[in-house]
Chain A
């Protein structure tokens, strides 16, 4: 069995955003190709193109030298391409066995599912990972009762039960523990010898060097390097992923202030914060400090901000100005003058179909008495929209009529009205146009000069380096590195995000 798949000059756009402009990938039987890239470089899109989840806008896919087009994941599956999805494709309230064999259930002659055979086949699959999970992962366990790592194992088994020629592992190791990763790698070696081709998408540099035969590096939607892994070093790979040119000129206001000798108090102090994804985070933020939070997506940044805002339960201690607080509801965090700009602005940050005015005033209505002093409310909202130079047809227009950047301004604006002391920002410039970004940067610098503390998570590494005095890099729910001053470089940031240990200790 010999198989090869080539992706040539792949183009994929989502609306106006170009996710891939020139993606290339070659996979052959019996080898593992690592698909590498920083945030937003297009590696997820690349794997979705290969497995038929998205339809490409340009370029060509060649399977064994013949052009192919996948209209759906099923079409790709029929061609022997299986994917271990990062967002799991499991039905929670069904058993492990039912999930793995869904649509391929072994049947008895009377049309009933042969549960016995299905159970045995599932057990045979589970044996591949035996010893690395708890005893309660059995064929008849409900998927909703499983831990994330066990769900990931089921997802891997579901893909491998198709006996594919090409297997795509999209961040399949992210939620596995080291023993499970070890086992997976043994299996990958075995599958490789059987002649399968494997695409390995991972955040972990160490794993890439252990398992991959070849690499393909994406940067800004372009493939910028391909070759044998033995011919390259970690450092060179990181160099490849790093961009040289800079788009923005950033001004660091807070840094100069520190040199002015103004002694700021510690505003926020976090000790050993633990949630489902966070594993013991400790940090301090001073007044007027703009603390950057970096790392690849989904390493716990969201949980950190939500926990601080009282949105999700956590263990650990949080102090604000030395006083221990334990928020159980965002309302309490708001009373302590915290503000959260959530990651998904349409769903979490805004009442999308309601007016700009309502959105601005949502956290502040109580200020306007009963009956509401609408005139005053309108005047305040107008003042904020002018301060943010919001482009709108009027305060009564629905937020859905605004562009992404302007909608994000509304999210920030609704907090400005309350004048909080601390802003928690979850990737606020995602999907925001260049001009608005520049305005945001000015606003953030302005706020920190006023003595506001800001926790700023961004998936854009340039922003973090340009704006922040100090950046903590999260990896697997832990602080991997703290970068400041001379160590705050893009190389160090990416190295730390990828879990390279000598990344850049401050």
Chain B
């Protein structure tokens, strides 16, 4: 038997480190909030985490393919403002459903625009999506210049309070996302995704349709951002064109904590989902530990930096030993 190989663990089980981190965060959270596994507490936590989970899953697909999507927050904002202005506080459920579909289409379109520039015109992903992020947030501000509007409270409550079989709705959504991901992972497209992210040139020489694979990752990301936008709108019940802006960097952080390398081709979607939950719990811990608001961002950032640096530090120590 070979000796335990950290590299191999990280490769085979990209979510390994994320789960380790999640367990630590859960234990600390449990000490601070002993009732956190009670049905209501669990649900109120998970419904807050869900938008970021969806966003991180989409971001993970882009990053696996070797790109990055900085415009996801903008897409969340567009969806939020569409729903808040078009459905309104007194809208009917039918209207809500219709605009959910419109939102998803908007997300796919926004993703396709990113994908077109990056895959077909070969522009830098980071610059392209940075530019389109302004486009998308700007469009959201055009739809809804000042915070306001919203969706009917009873529709929002469906999202907030549904707990089939006593489990939060978010658990079911996560399960569906992971099952779909596992299916994609084991199709030819899944292999292409890893090949393009891992070594685009070799993939091209082996006749992988590199351009289309890249394009599709941004469409997937746009779609997932739209889902995240729908979720966060149902959570808040109101509209705000700036709502998605801070979510972009958090989604990238969740992906990295989840063991999916920014260089592409390594990792998966399960890790980033766990990473998003972990980031949510870290936020929880900070609120419960009654840290002065002034310090909150600092403490949060420190935890994230340490979490991000940990695998690198472990590798450094391993190298020293060799």
Rounded to whole angstroms, the CA-CA distance of A92 and B2 in the bound complex is 20
Q: Known A74-B207, A102-B195, A145-B8; judge A90-B202 contact (CB<8 A).
A: yes
User: Would you give the 0/1 interface string for A77-89, flagging 1 where the beta carbon is closer than 8 Å to chain B?
Assistant: 1000000010011
Judge whether A102 and B198 touch: CB under 8 Å. no
Rounded to whole angstroms, the CA-CA distance of A90 and B199 in the bound complex is 8
The closest CB in chain B to the CB of A142 belongs to B11
Judge whether A102 and B11 touch: CB under 8 Å. no
A103 lies within 8 A of chain B by Cβ = yes
The range of chain B's interface size is 20 to 34
Beyond the given A94-B265, A102-B203, A103-B206, could you list 12 further A-B residue pairs with CB under 8 A, ordered by the A residue number?
A85-B205, A89-B201, A91-B199, A94-B191, A94-B194, A98-B195, A102-B192, A102-B206, A102-B208, A103-B207, A112-B186, A113-B188
A115 lies within 8 A of chain B by Cβ = yes
User: Would you give the 0/1 interface string for A96-121, flagging 1 where the beta carbon is closer than 8 Å to chain B?
Assistant: 00100011010100011101000000
A343 lies within 8 A of chain B by Cβ = no
The closest CB in chain B to the CB of A112 belongs to B186
8 Å CB contact of B203 from A91, A107, A112: A91
Q: How far is the CB of A147 from chain B (nearest CB, A)?
A: 14
Rounded to whole angstroms, the CA-CA distance of A145 and B192 in the bound complex is 20
Q: How far is the CB of B195 from chain A (nearest CB, A)?
A: 5
Rounded to whole angstroms, the CA-CA distance of A111 and B190 in the bound complex is 11
Q: How far is the CB of B7 from chain A (nearest CB, A)?
A: 8
B183 lies within 8 A of chain A by Cβ = yes
7 A-B pairs with C-beta separation under 8 A: A91-B198, A91-B265, A94-B191, A98-B191, A102-B208, A112-B186, A112-B187
Rounded to whole angstroms, the CA-CA distance of A112 and B191 in the bound complex is 11
Judge whether A111 and B187 touch: CB under 8 Å. yes
B15 lies within 8 A of chain A by Cβ = no
Rounded to whole angstroms, the CA-CA distance of A158 and B194 in the bound complex is 18
Question: Chain B residues near A89 (CB, 8 Å)?
Answer: 201-202, 205-206
Rounded to whole angstroms, the CA-CA distance of A158 and B202 in the bound complex is 12
Q: How far is the CB of A22 from chain B (nearest CB, A)?
A: 28
B266 lies within 8 A of chain A by Cβ = yes
8 Å CB contact of A93 from B2, B194, B208: B194
The closest CB in chain A to the CB of B203 belongs to A91
Number of chain A residues whose Cβ lies closer than 8 Å to a Cβ of chain B: 24
Judge whether A103 and B8 touch: CB under 8 Å. no
Q: How far is the CB of A182 from chain B (nearest CB, A)?
A: 28
User: Would you give the 0/1 interface string for B1-34, flagging 1 where the beta carbon is closer than 8 Å to chain A?
Assistant: 0100001100100000000000000000000000
A73 lies within 8 A of chain B by Cβ = yes
The closest CB in chain B to the CB of A105 belongs to B188
The closest CB in chain B to the CB of A102 belongs to B206
Judge whether B199 and A92 touch: CB under 8 Å. yes
Q: Known A103-B206, A103-B208; judge A93-B266 contact (CB<8 A).
A: yes
A136 lies within 8 A of chain B by Cβ = yes
Question: Chain A residues near B208 (CB, 8 Å)?
Answer: 102-103
Question: Chain A residues near B207 (CB, 8 Å)?
Answer: 73-74, 77, 103
Judge whether A91 and B188 touch: CB under 8 Å. no
Question: Chain A residues near B198 (CB, 8 Å)?
Answer: 91-94
Question: Chain B residues near A103 (CB, 8 Å)?
Answer: 188, 192, 206-208
Rounded to whole angstroms, the CA-CA distance of A93 and B267 in the bound complex is 10
Q: How far is the CB of A245 from chain B (nearest CB, A)?
A: 38
Rounded to whole angstroms, the CA-CA distance of A103 and B203 in the bound complex is 9
Question: Chain B residues near A105 (CB, 8 Å)?
Answer: 188, 191
Question: Chain B residues near A158 (CB, 8 Å)?
Answer: 206
Question: Chain B residues near A111 (CB, 8 Å)?
Answer: 187-188
Q: Known A93-B266, A136-B2, A145-B8; judge A113-B191 contact (CB<8 A).
A: yes
Rounded to whole angstroms, the CA-CA distance of A77 and B8 in the bound complex is 34
Q: Known A105-B188, A112-B183, A113-B186; judge A93-B265 contact (CB<8 A).
A: yes
Rounded to whole angstroms, the CA-CA distance of A459 and B82 in the bound complex is 65
Q: How far is the CB of A172 from chain B (nearest CB, A)?
A: 16
Question: Chain A residues near B195 (CB, 8 Å)?
Answer: 91, 94, 98, 102
Q: Which of A74, A77, A102 has the most CB of B within 10 A?
A: A102
Rounded to whole angstroms, the CA-CA distance of A422 and B188 in the bound complex is 55
User: Would you give the 0/1 interface string for B184-219, flagging 1 where the beta carbon is closer than 8 Å to chain A?
Assistant: 001110111011001101110111100000000000
Q: How far is the CB of A167 from chain B (nearest CB, A)?
A: 16
Question: Chain A residues near B8 (CB, 8 Å)?
Answer: 142, 145
Q: Which of B195, B201, B205 has the most CB of A within 10 A?
A: B205
Across chains A and B, which 10 residue pairs bring their CB atoms closest together, nearest first?
A91-B198, A89-B202, A91-B199, A112-B186, A74-B207, A89-B205, A93-B198, A91-B195, A93-B265, A102-B206
Q: How far is the CB of B15 from chain A (nearest CB, A)?
A: 16
Rounded to whole angstroms, the CA-CA distance of A158 and B198 in the bound complex is 17
User: Would you give the 0/1 interface string for A343-367, flagging 1 where the beta carbon is closer than 8 Å to chain B?
Assistant: 0000000000000000000000000
